Amino acid sequence: MIARNRPLSRLATRLARLFHGESGAGLLLIAVAVAAMVAANSPLAHGYHALFHDALPWSPVARLNTLHLWINDALMALFFFVVGLEIKREVLDGELSSPARRRLPVLAAGAGMVAPALVFLAVTRGDPALQPGWAIPAATDIAFALGVLALLGPRVPASLRLFLLTVAIVDDLGAVAIIALAYTRGIDGQWLGAAAAVLAVLAICNRAGVRSGWAYALLGAGLWYAVLQSGVHATVAGVLAALCVPLQLDQRGDSPLLRMEHALAPLSAYLIVPLFGFANAGVALAGIGPQGLISALPLGVALGLVLGKQAGIFGAVWLAARTGWAERPTGATWRQVWGLALLCGIGFTMSLFIGQLAFPDAPELVEQAKLGVLAGSVLSALAGYVVLRGARR
């Protein structure tokens, strides 16, 4: 009986390892993306779209009158708050805390954002209506990429996984800057002034040594509301509020930032991001033939993710190593670096999010952008997996 159950025990152990921590969040996101596609291309399609896009009978915030808006403008602000906490921790006391550690991830992330944007603009040249989508392929979905790495187990050296994490942190910071600068329309000066005042109070609390998490949470909610009303995308408020939360440890080894990150990271990874993915990844494929797949917008997004990301990141690491400016990750072969660069082409969460911002008044273009994001992300995931699996250790 014990021998008969041994394969089942090994399978259970393997599944438990796969779904543990950040890797588990990535695998959950993969499952959610598949579920969204199934729902959008089945008899459930009408109910699926109605659930997220039909007007709510009542909403405490008039601007957020659908479940889709609550997810994208409210819950995603909390996601960006967690991202901001992680960025601050890494910059002050982590893998980005010294110039030597920052050098290669910053270079790779920067090149990995510029190259996909250039590929997109090259494919869509001549069509001004598509130009706002230039930033869609510039982002990397760290949860999705970690999910693929989890499938490879010990084949990937720890240094490469750490490099992926640090590149993704810099990438997230760049995406936030892009959202704030490139996708802000119709500024309301009074609400922007109110947001600046709340942000100043948050900064004063930090300087005064206020350590109550609730104080930062309540002020952060006020900042979110003011930014939402100002015309700047509300998710920017999440990062700004996070940067005001103190990291310093007290005599008991307690830190408001670490405490809030520990409490909110699982909520973000296992609820907010999967819910966002399910609400935004559903693309109806009916009537989309080969011509639809190779039209300028989805093709530009897909090629930006698949070709631009790997060219930018791999090229940056190779150039840095060749010039002696920085060394490639310890113990990693060039094939493994290439495989990791391919995995960075998984754009999913942030790319879908930027696609919504790029074409707010053109739902048909949003759907085309989604198609490009899904195609490019799947191709990048498969190619990265194959390259890394075949690499020698």
pTM over 0.75: yes
93-143 residue pLDDT tens: 888 888 888 899 999 999 999 999 999 999 999 789 999 999 999 988 888
- Would 327 be classed as within a structural domain? yes
Which pLDDT band holds residue 283 (cuts at 50, 70, 90)?
confident
Residues 6+ apart with CB under 8 A from 120: 133, 134, 136, 137, 300, 301, 303, 304, 308
Residue 169 falls inside a structural domain: yes
Burial of 13 (0-12, 13-18, 19+ CB in 10 A): exposed
**In-domain check, residue 320:** yes
Q: Is residue 15 part of a domain?
A: no
Query: Residue 11 domain-assigned?
Result: no
Average pLDDT (82-101) is 88
Higher local confidence (pLDDT), 91 or 306:
306
Which two tokens mark 348? 């999913």
pLDDT in tens, 231-269: 888 889 999 999 999 998 887 878 999 999 999 999 998
Split at pLDDT 50, 70, 90, the class of 15 is very low
- Residue 1 has what pLDDT? 42
Looking at per-residue confidence, does 26 or 198 come out higher? 198
CATH of the domain at 134: 1.20.1530.10
How many angstroms separate the CA atoms of 79 and 25, rounded?
Answer: 14
**Number of domains comprising the chain:** 1
> Contact, 106 vs 90, CB < 8 A?
no
Question: 351 with 139: CB under 8 angstroms?
Answer: yes
Residue 10 has pLDDT above 60, yes or no: no
- Rounded distance, CA 339 to CA 153, Å? 14
> What rounded mean pLDDT belongs to the chain?
89
pLDDT of amino acid 22 = 56
Look-up of token digits 């990693």: 332
Res 2 pLDDT > 50:
no
Does 53 fall in a domain? Answer: yes
Amino acid 21: pLDDT: 54
Q: What is the largest CA-CA distance in the chain?
A: 73
Nearest CA-CA partner of 82 in 218, 344, 269: 269
Domain membership of residue 3 (yes or no) is no
* Concatenated DSSP letters of 234-254: THHHHHHHHTTS-----TTS-
pLDDT, tens digit (0-9, with 9 covering 90-100), for 139-160: 888 888 888 888 887 888 888 8
Q: DSSP label at 63?
A: T
Domain hosting 143: range is: 23-390
Of the ranges 155-159, 165-169, 275-279, the best mean pLDDT one: 275-279
Is pLDDT at 16 greater than 90 in this prediction? no
Model pLDDT for residues 254-264, shown as the tens digit of each residue: 899 999 999 99
Torsions phi, psi for 185 (to 5 deg): -135, 145
User: Mean pLDDT throughout 53-74?
Assistant: 94
Whether the pLDDT of residue 24 is over 80: the answer is: no
